[in-house]
Amino acid sequence: MRIRQLAASIFVLVLPTSLVLSQETKPPTDFRSFTAGDVLQAIFADYNHRTGRAASILNDENKPALVRLSQAKLWRVDGQPNLVVLVELAGSDSQFDAEDGLCGGCVAYAMVAVVKSDGDRLELMAKQRSPASAVINGDEPANDSKKIPYNPFDPVMFSGHDELSLDLAPFRLNSKEMLIGLRDTHDWMGDYQTILNLYRIEGTNLREVFNSTVIDRNIQTKIYLSVR
């Protein structure tokens, strides 16, 4: 299969503006009656509103890991409003510390998920696989992370030098299916590039079907729109 020419919008080199949510910020207008905690509860059945932790995902202390809503965007498909979100998982509690944050050479997980409103509650449509542990690495995370075998359903891995941004341009797979985009922009010591990932909803899972560098300041990048 090949993504239709409509996906050529990925050639635009201007990154789209993202709606970044703090822990206190509510989701977009169509979902204004729900809190960030409500969204996380729909994604993780064992999410604790009081502690901000998901019991099934363990951190570096072998305790429930902190999770937070990083970004949220409204995604209309056939006129129906859905909410696409990016959730960050903390391998260590200090990762969510405003002063410490994620170190440049450290690697963490983030998950893309889609929820919809069902009356007074949120319903999970699809998400990437939840890891059993939010911890990816040891002393040399950038090298250790490369040993993790590829799985198209796995969550995203990013470093402290990366910036993730949801991209909901109209990436059309076929006449009935739209794809969800996520840009990973890496900027460190003159190395600047953006990778575009596209995800397809398969049942209640999100599967990566496209992954390619779309911006590279050092070379002329050719983009082949092929789907795995």
pLDDT digits (tens, 9 = 90+) for 91-142: 999 999 876 678 777 899 999 999 999 889 999 999 999 999 999 864 444 4
Tell me the two tokens of residue 137. 């690495």
Is pLDDT at 144 greater than 50 in this prediction? no
- Domain range summary for the chain, segments of one domain joined by +: 5-216
Report whether pLDDT(41) > 50. Answer: yes
pLDDT confidence tier of residue 26, bands split at 50, 70 and 90: low
Q: State the residue for tokens 């941004």.
A: 165
pLDDT of residue 102: 81
Q: What percent of the chain lies above the pLDDT cut of 90?
A: 57
pLDDT at 1: 41
Query: Which of 83-87, 95-99, 177-181 has the weakest average pLDDT?
Result: 95-99
Q: Residue 168: which of 157, 177, 176, 179 has the closest Cα?
A: 179
Q: What angle do CA 65, 69, 73 make, to 5 degrees?
A: 155
pLDDT at 220 over 60: no
In sequence order, the 6+-apart residues with CB closer than 8 A to the CB of 185 are 15, 162, 163, 164, 165, 192, 193, 194, 215
The winner for highest mean pLDDT among 4-18, 45-59, 130-144, 177-191 is 45-59
pLDDT confidence bin for 161, thresholds 50/70/90: confident
Secondary structure (3-state) at 226 = strand
| pLDDT, the chain, mean | 82
- Confidence check: pLDDT of 175 > 50: yes
Report the predicted TM-score, pTM, of the whole model to 2 decimal places.
Answer: 0.80
Q: How far is CA 161 from CA 132, 133, 158, 195, in A?
A: 24, 22, 8, 13
In this predicted structure, what is the pLDDT of residue 8?
Answer: 36
Q: What are the tens digits of pLDDT across the range 52-76?
A: 999 999 999 999 999 999 999 999 9
Decide which of 66 and 192 is more confident: 66
Region 169-174: mean pLDDT is 93
